[in-house]
Structure 1
Amino acid sequence: MTTPPTAALFDIGNVLVHLDFENALSTLVPSGAEDPGTRIRSLLERKDEFESGALSDRDFIAWASERLGYTGSAENFRRTWNSIFEPIPAMWGVASFLKSQRLKIVLFSNTNSMHAEWLLANHHIFDEFDGRVFSHEVGAIKPDPAIYHYAIKAHGLNPADTLYLDDLPENIATGRELGFRCHQYSFSRHHEFVEWLDQQLGVG
């Protein structure tokens, strides 16, 4: 029989909120510019650097603006950069439910300072979490085991008693190697997640 979990780690992107970079950031590309999609995707080149905290907001905005051909204000860039999120209400309900069941719930995300600051300030669900492990604050990014070990130590987690939800297979793979109870979440297969969660909680 599965023992009840005592904690849960939640990724943010595509678990608690949908992400839509291309549609949001397309407004920063000048009208008539060649291949705006390629310009936007080129920002991934420094994604890890930004999310590990090695690249400052100011330097990222300057570099990204040049890549996109954007000549507007840094404030408008920030506003647009933070407009990529759309809540996944069903998963907000899951987080609230697990909290009500006395599980320690912890945010566990590769993110950057601009996104983290905006999400925490604008979505009430994040107030319910007992803690957070953000890549830009730790200086390591998933799937590097270092950030998982940081989460374990910082929040007193026993992986065998901790649920871990993430959308990326490589992140889940490290979680499994370290003994977490993992589920690779997909919004289109939410029903599979519900069945898995019921099994973990001993429901039904």
Structure 2
Amino acid sequence: MTFLFDIGNVLLKLHFQRFHLAILGSENAPLPADLADLKDPYETGKLSDQEFVEQSLDILNHPLTSDEFVAAWENIFSPNLPMWEVVHTLKKQGHRLILFSNTNSIHARSFLKTYQDFNLFDHHHFSQEVGTIKPLPEFYQSAIENYNLVPGETLYLDDLPENITTGKKFGFSSWQYDLNDHQACVAWLYTQGITLAKSS
């Protein structure tokens, strides 16, 4: 069986409030719309790291250095430990594991270096490398072609409903993951023929 894993709020918890606090002075401060608009171009590789950082600092009109901005941008992750237990079990069972995520090169370099367990994955399918993002069909189709996926033998976990909807259209057995209800995911995996050892 092949497993497609989203990263944000599946494998890693996202703490964007840390970034907001560092650059805006408050965890609850909204990002400027112009900065939010850089997300998709950056995550599809249309902006380089340097362009993203420079344009972000221009929009913010903030005295942060580029290095300080990058450090704040990287500091948004923590591991979702119950899901990593699942990953370890699936790897031991011999399943193929693929990272399947909208991300950007600064984040990807950071989490791949910080969390060595990402080495358990056989492949990664990242938006900034393939030039398209979920939930667009092209993202899914390119993964099918690149990794010879058989949809009926592919399980897909993601936290966003729109991404799950597209996954189901391609025939993937798909589960919308909720950080606050990990056991529901474990129960769903059981219905798919995947048995996980209970944590001691």
TM beyond 0.5? yes
Higher relative contact order (CA 8 A, sep 6+): 1
Which residue matches 1:110?
Answer: 102
Given that 2:3 and 2:154 are in contact with CA atoms closer than 8 Å, whether structure 1 keeps it comes out as yes
2-structure distance, mates of 1:18, 1:136: 20
Range 11-20 or range 67-76, more displaced: 67-76
Q: CA deviation at 1:156?
A: 1.7
Contact 1:22/1:40 (<8 A) preserved: no
Per-residue deviation, 1:203: 4.1
Question: How far, CA to CA, are the matches of 2:151 and 2:96 in structure 1?
Answer: 13
RMSD: 1.9
Deviation of 1:41 after TM superposition, in Å, equals 6.3
For the pair 1:133 / 2:133, whether they are aligned, the reply is no
1:196 aligns with 2:188: yes
The SS at the match of 1:187 is coil
Matches within 5 A, 1:4-153: 6-29=1-24, 37-39=29-31, 43-153=35-145
Kindly provide the amino acid, as one letter, of the partner of residue 51 in structure 1. Answer: E
- For 2:122 and 2:100, the matched residues in 1 are separated by 11
Shift of 1:40: 5.5
User: Residues of 2 paired with 1:139 and 1:153: CA distance?
Assistant: 15
SS for the counterpart of 1:194 is: helix
Distance, in Å, in 2 between the alignment partners of 1:39 and 1:188 is 26
Gapped regions of structure 1 (runs ≥ 5): 1-5
Q: Structure 2: which amino acid aligns with 1:133?
A: H
- The alignment partner of 1:188 has SS state of coil
Between the aligned partners of 2:32 and 2:89, the Cα distance in structure 1 is 37
The alignment's TM-score, normalised by the length of structure 1, stands at 0.90
* Amino acid paired to 1:17: L
Cα distance between partner residues in 2 of 1:86 and 1:201: 29
Query: Aligned runs of 1:156-175 on 2, under 5 Å?
Result: 156-175=148-167
Per-residue CA shift, 1:32-79, capped at 9, x if unaligned?
A: x9x971235653212111100001111111121123332222111111
Alignment length (residue pairs): 196
